[in-house]
Chains A and B, each alone.
Chain A
Amino acid sequence: MYQALFFLFAASAVGFAINLLIQRHPIHSALSLIGVMGSLASLYLMLGAEFLAVVQVIVYAGAVMVLFVFVIMLLNADKEEPSDRSKMAKYLGLPLLFLLLAMITVVIYRQFPEDAMVQFGDFPGQTAAIGRLLFRDFLLPFEVISILILIAIIGAIVLAKKEP
């Protein structure tokens, strides 16, 4: 069941990513990116990284994607015309991709020869641990981040707001 779920979400992440690359229209690519992020969030969730999953959904799939879509609409981006692709990419692209995948596989099997797969939900309680670190040990950086957000707000308004 868990393995089936893993492969389901992993496959959908890869599928959306490939779709992102082959779509000609920027908006379609942006929508595929939301799919990638959603699938990734599910994978994080299955490992027990609830905080990461929530950040992935709320900040990335939510806010950052809104910004992406607005930029695409702001620039009025139209269909991409395929340019003259370089010959190098055409002939070397796929072999190099497989070489990279093979290398990653080899490294992983070298590092973890025994078949010790990470079990789903292996790291529960992450959110509370992050909270304890953030609000106790890293109390100072946490408070400074509020000034950082404040400056970003001022910056957005100073640089982007039209003077009446």
Chain B
Amino acid sequence: MLSEYFSAVDFLLLKPAILLTIFGIGVMLTDLLLDERQKYFNAVTALVGIGFAAVQMLRIQSQMREAGVSEVEAFRGAIVLDGLGIFFIWLFLISTAITILISFRYLEIENEHHGEYYAILLFATVGMIFLAIGMDLITLFVGLELMVLSIYILAGFLRGDRRSNEAAMKYLLLGAFSSGILLYGMSLLYGMSNSTNLRVIGSALSQRPLGDPLVIMAVVTIAAGLFFKIGAVPFHQWLPDVYEGAPHSVAAFMSVGPKVAAFALLLRLFLVPLGELREQWEPLLIGVAVATMTLGNLAAISQSNIKRMLGYSAISHVGYILLGLVAGNETGLKGIVIYLLVYVFMNLGIFTVVVAMRRRDLVGDEINDMAGLMHKSPVMAILSLIFLLSLAGIPPTAGFLGKYFIFLSLLETGHYTLAVIAVLYVAVAIYYYFRIVVVMFMQPPADQELPSMSLGIRCALGVTAAMTLFMGLYPEPFIQLATGPVLAILR
């Protein structure tokens, strides 16, 4: 089966994705044989699949260390596994695993506990992996579509719920449109370079004259498509609506895995083929980042639905991460990497709390539903406090670490105004995050029903809270961790 078009290295690099696909198909087919009470088996199979993929990743990494290489190419440069790719794949595996942990009980309560859910999650992870390691426009686009198609379905997974249907519909229509715009930009890149390989495109673009309208057109369309996928202003309107309507556990997944994957795509496209054109896209990026922080933080203040509020807060975080790209120096890139790492844990943590708020006859996505959580479940209330502090960026939690590097990079590169704006918005963020804290600790409980706990939710809360605290208190190993990905970008 091996030939000049498919070598042993190709197979090795694909193994995690292949394993996830096999387990996905396995979950899909075994689900047909299980009856209502055995559905937990699907979740276990899916977790085992992620475990296998993780073990395979470890083996690939150890083989790379033995061979003394930091970057492996496969499929004639169509995929490249470097430090950045490895980092992102680990983030995807972790976020999918935690999502599976919190979904189990939630889907039971919603009465929609089907094996397809876990199969689709695994397939989405495959798509995200290709976004992290793709170096070819076609591979990247197919990976992107694999990911977003999965999320369209997951967003509408609660078929009896009109809000879920609406969320899926909105996301499908707008997502297809933005994919079209992105594809148009990609076709322009191909037209200018006659290649789909990002590195070849990069060298072809550097030959073009300065201010070439075709290049500007390509940058603008690609940026528009990517800004939609990460949810940056002015392409953010879908995000709060979809978060609000989608099932709680899917909103949790969307806010981390696919968002980080979209950032992986954005970093690849902006730094490899468009890297030479920095002065052309930097003003665009500054405008978008400031608008995103402004709108996200200000709109979050007036929300009464906690998922909508977290949606706007996710928008504001996108603004901070984009600022790291604006700075663009080593500290800035380190900031992006650490911010994404921290963001996955703290955001999944707070969403786990929201998922636990969904009880038998209570949707639990209003801020008031958290009233008196301190009396009902003190542990959960204190963990929520940690996540909210971290989201606001207050030391000693991990959220501070990400913001610290971003601000530092802005100062290093002389973007003083941007740094001041970013710090001011942290104050705004503290205000709306603490509204939840006040409701949790100061107000009497509105109902007597306890949060719905399960082994999965306990595990998820434990892991996310431990990581959020640990990264804040003892950041050195994580800063070390970020150097590999950053070196991969700078090469």
- Chain A residues within 8 Å of B, Cβ to Cβ: 136-141, 144-145, 147-148, 150-152, 154-155, 157-159
* A142, chain B: closest CB distance, angstroms: 9
Query: Nearest A residue to B75 by beta-carbon distance?
Result: A140
- Chain B residues within 8 Å of A, Cβ to Cβ: 5-6, 10, 14, 21, 24-25, 28, 75-76, 78-79, 114, 116, 119-120, 123, 126-127, 130, 136, 138-139, 142-143, 145-146, 149-150, 152-153, 156-157, 159, 168
A159-B159, A159-B168 as given contacts; A151 in contact with B139, CB under 8 Å: no
Query: Given A151-B149, A152-B149, 19 other A-B contacts at CB below 8 A?
Result: A137-B5, A137-B76, A140-B79, A140-B139, A141-B78, A141-B136, A141-B142, A144-B142, A147-B21, A148-B146, A150-B25, A151-B123, A151-B146, A151-B150, A154-B116, A154-B120, A158-B116, A158-B153, A159-B156
Contact check, A150 vs B123: say whether CB atoms are below 8 A apart: yes
Across the interface, which residues of A come within 8 angstroms of B152, CB to CB?
A: 155
Across the interface, which residues of B come within 8 angstroms of A137, CB to CB?
A: 5, 76, 78
* A7, chain B: closest CB distance, angstroms: 30
Across the interface, which residues of B come within 8 angstroms of A150, CB to CB?
A: 25, 123
Across the interface, which residues of B come within 8 angstroms of A155, CB to CB?
A: 120, 149, 152-153
Across the interface, which residues of A come within 8 angstroms of B14, CB to CB?
A: 140
Contact check, A147 vs B79: say whether CB atoms are below 8 A apart: no
Contact check, A138 vs B138: say whether CB atoms are below 8 A apart: yes
Contact check, A154 vs B119: say whether CB atoms are below 8 A apart: yes
Contact check, B153 vs A141: say whether CB atoms are below 8 A apart: no
A-B contacts, 28 listed (Cβ < 8 Å): A136-B5, A138-B138, A140-B14, A140-B75, A141-B78, A141-B136, A141-B138, A141-B139, A144-B127, A144-B146, A147-B123, A147-B146, A148-B146, A148-B149, A150-B25, A150-B123, A151-B120, A151-B123, A151-B150, A151-B153, A154-B119, A154-B120, A155-B120, A155-B149, A155-B152, A158-B114, A158-B157, A158-B159
Across the interface, which residues of B come within 8 angstroms of A138, CB to CB?
A: 78, 138
CB contact between A145 and one of B5, B24, B142, B153 (< 8 Å): that residue = B142
A contact face: mostly helix, strand, loop, or mixed:
helix
Query: Nearest A residue to B137 by beta-carbon distance?
Result: A141
CA distance A136 to B76 in the complex (A): 10
Residue among A136, A137, A151, A157 with the highest chain B CB neighbour number at 10 A: A151
Which are the 10 A-B pairs with shortest beta-carbon distances?
Answer: A155-B153, A141-B142, A136-B5, A141-B138, A144-B142, A140-B75, A158-B116, A141-B139, A151-B149, A151-B123
CA distance A159 to B151 in the complex (A): 12
* A107, chain B: closest CB distance, angstroms: 15
Residue among A136, A137, A154 with the highest chain B CB neighbour number at 10 A: A154
Across the interface, which residues of B come within 8 angstroms of A152, CB to CB?
A: 149
* B465, chain A: closest CB distance, angstroms: 33
* A4, chain B: closest CB distance, angstroms: 33
Query: Nearest A residue to B145 by beta-carbon distance?
Result: A148
CA distance A121 to B61 in the complex (A): 52
A139-B5, A154-B120, A158-B116 as given contacts; A144 in contact with B143, CB under 8 Å: yes
* B335, chain A: closest CB distance, angstroms: 32
CA distance A158 to B156 in the complex (A): 9
CA distance A29 to B248 in the complex (A): 43
CA distance A137 to B24 in the complex (A): 26
Contact check, B153 vs A159: say whether CB atoms are below 8 A apart: yes
Across the interface, which residues of B come within 8 angstroms of A139, CB to CB?
A: 5-6, 75
CA distance A147 to B484 in the complex (A): 31
Query: Nearest B residue to A145 by beta-carbon distance?
Result: B142
Query: Nearest B residue to A142 by beta-carbon distance?
Result: B142
* B282, chain A: closest CB distance, angstroms: 32
CA distance A141 to B120 in the complex (A): 19
* B325, chain A: closest CB distance, angstroms: 27
Residue among B116, B126, B136, B153 with the highest chain A CB neighbour number at 10 A: B153
Across the interface, which residues of B come within 8 angstroms of A154, CB to CB?
A: 28, 116, 119-120, 153
CA distance A120 to B28 in the complex (A): 49
* B49, chain A: closest CB distance, angstroms: 14
CA distance A139 to B78 in the complex (A): 10
CA distance A139 to B152 in the complex (A): 26
CA distance A139 to B5 in the complex (A): 8
